[in-house]
Structure 1
Amino acid sequence: MRRRLLAGLLGGVLLVGAAGCGIPQNTEVQVDGPGPAAEGAANSGSRGAPPSRAESGTREQFIENFLSAAAGEPDRAYQRVRQFIAPADHHRLQDKQGSEVTLTVVRLTEEPVIVNAPEKTEVTLNVQQVGQLRTDGTLAPPETSATTYTFELRGAPGEQGRADAGFYVANPPGVLLLSVEALEEYYQSRPIYFWNSDRSRLVPDQRYLPLAVPDERRVSEVVKWLTAGPSDWLRTGVSLLPDNTRLINNATRTDGRWEVDLDMQDGKPLLELLATQLAWSLEDLDGPLELKIRNQSRVVIPDLEAHRRAHPVHPLVELPKRFCVYEGAVHPLAGAGEPSGPVPLDARGNRNVVSAGLSRAGNQILAALVVTDANRQWLSVGTGPDPVAVFARGAKGYAAMSRPVWLRSTYRGQPAGLVVADGSLYRFDTGAQLTPVSLNVRGPVTAVAASLDGHRIAVIAGGALYVAALILDGTGISAGPARLLPTRLTGLSAVDWYGENSLILAGSVNRPAVYEVSVDGARESRLEDKIGARVNHLAAYPANPTVRLGAAMYEANGVAYRSGPLERIQPEQVQQVSPPQAGARTGNPTAPFFLY
């Protein structure tokens, strides 16, 4: 399921699902008796198959197809690739079996270099290592730092001179190569969901399912992924199913009702939690779902779509509102057809502001302001009903601080956020107390962003991009092992979450640009490259299953912009400014952000 994130709010019209916060205790999940006898679904046939060697015409097309050959179900990956390799060199590619089959995903950094010689044609691929695609659909970090692969192209043995003879690869790489373009074309990118540590919020995990997998096996694959656990980098931040939980046979469908038989610890509360995981992890399915324990019916979801509406994965209850900093204070921004409202801050605390992070928590506003005083920057934090009137200031000032971000899911309802100050990452609480957060990254931290679920972060450190899971418990907040993400961008300067499993990243590709990057670094797409100056501030409203549209705003060289299409935010759009005459305004709006 490829979700297209639309930049801009399209006039502020957002598709909003059922309102709600968290996961209600009373659900429509029913305890039920045994269902009717199961019968398998019809086979959907082969699909999503990459081109064969015989379908390759030019050398360039052959190379492209060679980098797609491993795509599909992993048990036949070696067989598909060997069709492209000269028979005499088959031994150079050593078979692996079962879960050991991995594909080396690479991004070409330039067009393949093809050099003709009297006896052979040599091909050099210059690549960026992206990751190792495993049989469980996870894209693990790369296992090599190789930046080039070289092999030869030869005609079919004994068939030189034939126009239709085609090519073979000689002296092939010893790994199964897969281009990022082939990953995009022959796999379905989809999230699956795991519960956080106190099982109050679902956390998405990125997976890839070959399009060649028949429909009737897709449910089984997702169940296996959930029982096996999350991606390695996410494991420390979520709850796992009980040990030894496994799927018995494959999921089956009877008269439109999916049946899943498990060998696992029996217990209705645990099964109801798993039912909600499955409902969201199988977002493209509707109708009933029955969960069995060793062939005994235990839980039935009468309708998956209704279950998702009753159990929203993110507690978003209001449309986002745009704000900015203007003349040292937070002000609302006007936009055609977009919701707007007064600043939820008392004027006495809304002064000398450099940047701000505001969030909603039930009927409370969480406000974190970076303010300037005596040539230093300080964190000022206030919480309460709109407008927030009481603020606490941090005990120490810093030379520079990032835009503060709130975590939208924190341990036992204790609000907390993150901010970067003088190259280090800190946790802050409602008393503006800053506590260092340790990260296993190199170099100073320059930016931080928190995901919509509040259990994952993205940071820029030492000029590189990382993601990490957050561990929330009674002792505070800590970060799990950080994962380095590959990107073509250099000079990284700002990051935020643009979707459940995607980031928006500012840097440069020959000139300043803003890209959308998947949470594993496999997918990159250019959003903006006409800003003309380094982006020093970026804020996004992330697309998600409840609200399908995303948006972003930037600041570069003291000028603020909104995305989709790129449009400068004018001083006349700033609301609640005195004097109201547009001609009397000076300066530009800066540090734009969203409140939701």
Structure 2
Amino acid sequence: MRRPALVVALGVVVLLGAGCGIPAASDVRVDGKGGAATEAGMVNGPGNEPPTRTASGSVNEAFVRNFLSAAAGEPDRAYERVKAYIAPEHKSRLQDKKGSEVALNVVRLREAVYTLNSDSTTTVKITVQQIGVLRANGTLAPPVATETEYEFGIRSAAFNGGVNDERAGLYILDPPNVLLLSDVALRRYYQDESIYFWSSDRTRLVPDQRYRPLAVPDERRVNEVVKWLVGGPSEWLRPGVVGLPDRTELINNATGGNGRWEINLDMSGDDQNGIDQLITQIAWSLGDLPGELELRIRNNSLPVQDLSERRDSVELYPNAESPQRFGLYEGAIHPLDFGSELSGAVPLAPEANRNIVSADLAVAKGQRILAAMVVKGSSDGRHRLAVGASAAPISALNRSTSEYSSMSRPVWLRTVDARPGRGLVVADGQLYRFDESARMYQVPLNLPADVTAVAAALDGQRVALIAGGRLYVAAVNPDGGGVSVGPPRPLATSLTSLTAVDWGSEDQLVVAGSFGQPAIYEISVDGALETPLRTDLGAKVTHLTAYPTNRTIRVPSGAYMYEANGVAYRSSPFERIEPDSVRDIAPLPTGVRPSNPSAPFFLY
């Protein structure tokens, strides 16, 4: 609250996550908006532990940023670290919780108003976006809190002869009654990593994003990962994967050192295939950790496994291929060549390669090519789905029986076996699954707005959706011969009016929307971590495609292409896709200007 005549307004400091291309500081302006302050003020520099209360001295802005990182680290000490920032007379306002009940409200900071009061305290009002709840098991669940503002006070920790002693630092007054953690602190003090669960049909491993405090010693990493696996998958992912058998428990802690790790589980059943899959699951969930694993089931030792050899013997994405770039030119698919980066031949026969609006081609088991294309319908503005599946070149296409006024780019749900191909496409605001015969079946989603885009992860068990300009993720479950999609989880992002999405890696999405102007961001699968990729587009993105970097095919990250205002572009390096990059174009008559390439995509 502002007190007339006795209050000096110190202005507004905008606090945003790192990497947004916004200045780190600005001049203070009375009753005005200041510039951005990102990670500046976390004066202790990079480290595993958040700053202590006195690290910022008497600098209000740095102190608030540090306060919003104090909860970071091992959960059992979160309240202790936060209460160290709170004035002694106000500590009781924050009620401690223990064990699995410890949860951090992760927020994205928008701005902060600092108001100096007549009693030498400062009132702070921060505006935030709620991102999610970081739980003790490393998952970031959807947000529970709905507050967009928090207000609290700051006072000096000590006075010496009426002069503030800067070395004593500051204290928080009237603190929020929840543990807050900024997205900047999440990025700084946690390692985001993937653990893996078997798909519902047990044919492949599916990533599940977790956050491990950097303060956790490396020797405890194996123990933390196994506890996560025992605890089961994230809520939104459960419809598409299976956890460990019921009542599985870790006996004592996982131990090890010098490249040898021992894990003892109380697990029901003696299915050797299931145990073998568990070893593979643990090996991949430990990332690139080298060494040997001795797994015990109820104290009974199994043969020692070399972790690296196990990962080499069971690929995550066995059908993945090195990506090739293609695009549309005059309604037909053509290879896109950029210097030494050459694409192969179009896997369609000429009679099937025409009247195309957008396409997705995928390599399936046995080197079959799956082709799904939106093609022009019988009248202007109408579209059909055309599907073909065979060894290249595909000559026969099946077409949907209905036509639609709008259709998104179709996507294939990749499998590791020889089952018939299935995919997803958006038509007239509804999500449909389709098969190799181009039969379309509506997929119920229970979303509050029309769907406009869909993208499938490389594992074929997760999808990203855009509906009503908002971003969602959902798990996919092959349901007999069909496909069901679990309840979509909304993601909080800085972008608004989203138009396009694709998967850029196992746990990152490439998303187009607006941040004051059209922009493309990389956003984690839970919405917490954002990195601007391009903020100077100048026009709305109408088409976006990316190659998901993964552990099977090692290619540089950040490979994506998009179309805006009728012009196609590629990243790494960023450049416009010109007609001279399109292969196999018939020579044009003198004076005829070539068309722009459109709707680029990757074949892999």
TM above 0.5, yes or no, is yes
- Secondary structure of the 2:346 match is coil
Separation of aligned partners in 2, 1:571 and 1:71: 51
> Shift of residue 207 of structure 1?
0.1
- In structure 2, the residue matched to 1:555 is 563
SS at 2:302's partner residue? strand
Question: Could you tell me how far apart the structure 1 residues matched to 2:345 and 2:333 are?
Answer: 10
Aligned residue number for residue 13 of structure 2: none
Q: CA deviation at 1:218?
A: 0.9
State whether residues 588 and 594 of structure 2, in contact with CA within 8 Å, keep that contact through their aligned partners in structure 1: no
Q: 1:583 to 1:546 in 2, by over 3 A?
A: farther
Tell me by how many angstroms 1:392 deviates.
0.5
Structure 2 gap segments, 5+ residues each: 1-46
Alignment match, 2:282 = 278
Aligned residue among 563, 573, 584 for 2:581: 573
Aligned to 2:447: 441
Matches within 5 A, 1:396-407: 396-407=402-413
What secondary structure does 2:130 align onto? strand
Partner letter of residue 260 of structure 2? R
Aligned counterpart, 2:177 = 174
Q: Is the 8 A contact 2:203 2:416 kept in 1?
A: no
* Equivalent residue number for residue 335 of structure 2: 332
Per-residue CA deviation, residues 120-177 of structure 1 (Å, 9 max, x unaligned), is 2100111000000000000000001111111000112665622322110000000001
Structure 2 CA distance for partners of 1:412 and 1:350, relative to 1, 3 Å: closer
Cα distance in 1 between the residues matched to 2:278 and 2:370: 32
**Offset at residue 56 of structure 1 (A):** 1.8
Whichever residue aligns with residue 481 of structure 1, its letter is: P
Could you tell me which residue of structure 1 aligns to residue 243 of structure 2? 240
| Residue 56 of structure 2 corresponds to residue 56 of structure 1 | yes
Q: 1:344-393 CA distances to partner (integer Å, 9 max, x unpaired)?
A: 00111111111111000021000011111312110000010000111001
Once the two structures are TM-superposed, the CA of residue 239 in structure 1 deviates from its matched residue by 1.1
Other-structure match for 2:419: 413
Please give the per-residue CA displacement for 1:86-138, whole angstroms capped at 9, x wherever unaligned: 1111111001111000001000013x211111122100111000000000000
The answer (yes or no) to whether the contact 1:457–1:468 under 8 Å persists in 2 is yes
State the shift of 1:285 in Å.
0.8
* 2:344 aligned partner: 341
Q: Is the CA contact (8 Å cut-off) linking 1:411 and 1:474 kept in structure 2?
A: no
Q: 1:423 matched to which residue of 2?
A: 429
Could you tell me how far 1:571 is from its partner in structure 2?
A: 0.6
Partner letter of residue 124 of structure 2? V
Q: Which moved more, 1:358-367 or 1:338-347?
A: 338-347
Code of the aligned partner of 2:94: L
Query: Following TM superposition, by how much is the alpha carbon of 1:530 offset from its aligned partner in structure 2, in angstroms?
Result: 2.3
Give yes or no for the alignment of 1:498 onto 2:489. Answer: no
- Which amino acid in the other structure matches residue 94 of structure 1? Q
Q: Distance in 2 between matches of 1:75 and 1:479?
A: 36
| CA drift at 1:316 | 4.1
Contact 1:411–1:472 at 8 Å: present in 2 too?
Answer: no
* Range 98-107 or range 528-537, more displaced: 528-537
The alpha carbon displacement at 1:59 in A equals: 1.0
Please state how far the C-alpha of 1:296 moved relative to its aligned partner: 1.4
Tell me whether 1:308 sits opposite 2:308 in the alignment. no
What secondary structure is seen at the aligned counterpart in 2 of 1:109? strand
Matches of 1:321 and 1:412, distance apart in 2: 23
- Does the CA contact (< 8 Å) of 1:316 and 1:546 recur in 2? no
Check conservation: 1:272, 1:299, Cα contact below 8 A.
Answer: no
Give the letter aligned to residue 333 of structure 1.
L
Confirm whether residue 164 of structure 1 aligns to residue 167 of structure 2. yes
Further displaced range: 312-321 or 73-82: 312-321
* Cα distance, 1:405 vs structure 2: 0.4
How much does 1:260 deviate? Answer: 0.6
CA shift, 1:584, in A, is 5.0
1:50-449 equivalences in 2 (<5 Å) = 50-57=50-57, 58-110=59-111, 112-119=112-119, 120-156=121-157, 161=163, 162-253=165-256, 255-265=258-268, 266-301=270-305, 303-362=306-365, 363-373=367-377, 374-375=379-380, 376-409=382-415, 413-449=419-455
SS at match of 1:168: strand
Letter in 1 for 2:384: W
**SS in structure 1 opposite 2:599?**
strand
Q: Percent identity?
A: 56
Q: Tell me how far apart the structure 2 counterparts of residues 509 and 435 of structure 1 sit (CA, whole Å).
A: 35
- What displacement does 1:216 show? 1.7
1:307 maps to a residue whose letter is R
Work out the CA distance in 2 between the residues paired with 1:83 and 1:198.
49
Distance (whole Å) between structure 2 residues aligned to residue 50 and residue 231 of structure 1: 26
Q: Does the 8 Å CA contact 2:326/2:600 hold for their aligned counterparts?
A: yes
SS at match of 1:182: helix
Residue 48 of structure 1 aligns with an amino acid whose one-letter code is N
Amino acid at match of 1:286: P
Give the secondary-structure state (helix, strand or coil) at the position aligned to 2:352: coil
Q: Which runs of 5+ in 1 are unaligned?
A: 1-46
Matched ranges for 1:458-537 at <5 A? 458-537=464-543
Deviations 1:367-425 (CA, angstroms, capped at 9, x unpaired): 01111131211000001000011100100111111111000028971210000111111
TM-score normalised to structure 2 length: 0.89
Counterpart CA distance in 2 for 1:307 and 1:172 is 50
- Take 1:456 and 1:440, find their aligned partners in 2: how far apart are those partners? 17
The alignment yields a C-alpha RMSD, in angstroms, of 1.5
SS of residue matched to 2:318: coil
**Per-residue deviation, residues 48-103 of structure 1 (Å, max 9, x unmatched):** 11111021221111111100100000001000000000111111100111100000
Is contact 2:204-2:416 (8 Å) kept? Answer: no
| Distance in 2 of aligned mates of 1:116 and 1:582 | 73
Provide the C-alpha distance between the structure 1 equivalents of 2:258 and 2:123, rounded to a whole number of angstroms: 56
Deviations 1:518-567 (A, max 9, x none): 00000011101222110000000011122343300000011000012320
SS at structure 2 position matched to 1:136: coil
1:189 aligned counterpart, secondary structure: strand
Name the aligned partner's letter for residue 122 of structure 1. Answer: T
Q: Secondary structure at the match of 1:60?
A: helix
Match of 2:242, SS state, is coil
What amino acid maps onto 2:450 in structure 1? P
Residue in structure 2 matched with residue 454 of structure 1 by the alignment? 460
Matches of 2:241 and 2:361 in 1, distance apart?
26
Equivalent position amino acid for 1:241 in 2: L
Distance, in Å, in 2 between the alignment partners of 1:157 and 1:414 is 72
2:138 partner SS: coil
Change (3 A) 1:290 1:582: farther
Using the TM superposition, give the Cα deviation of residue 569 of structure 1 relative to its aligned residue in structure 2, in angstroms. 0.1
AA in 1 matched with 2:293:
L
- Partner of 1:164, secondary structure, is helix
The amino acid across from 1:379 in the alignment is L
AA partner of residue 520 (structure 1) = D
**201-210 or 150-159, larger mean C-alpha shift:** 150-159
CA–CA distance in structure 2, aligned partners of residues 574 and 256 of structure 1: 51
Paired letter, 2:75: P
Alignment partners' CA distance in 1, 2:481 and 2:544:
31
Alignment partners' CA distance in 2, 1:236 and 1:474: 14
Tell me if the contact between 1:411 and 1:473 (Cα under 8 Å) persists in the aligned partners: no
Flag the 1:189–1:425 CA change in 2: closer, same or farther, 3 A.
same
**CA distance 1:243–1:189, shift in 2 (3 Å):** same
Q: Does the 8 Å contact 1:292/1:299 carry over to 2?
A: no
Kept in 2, the 8 Å contact 1:528–1:566? The answer is no
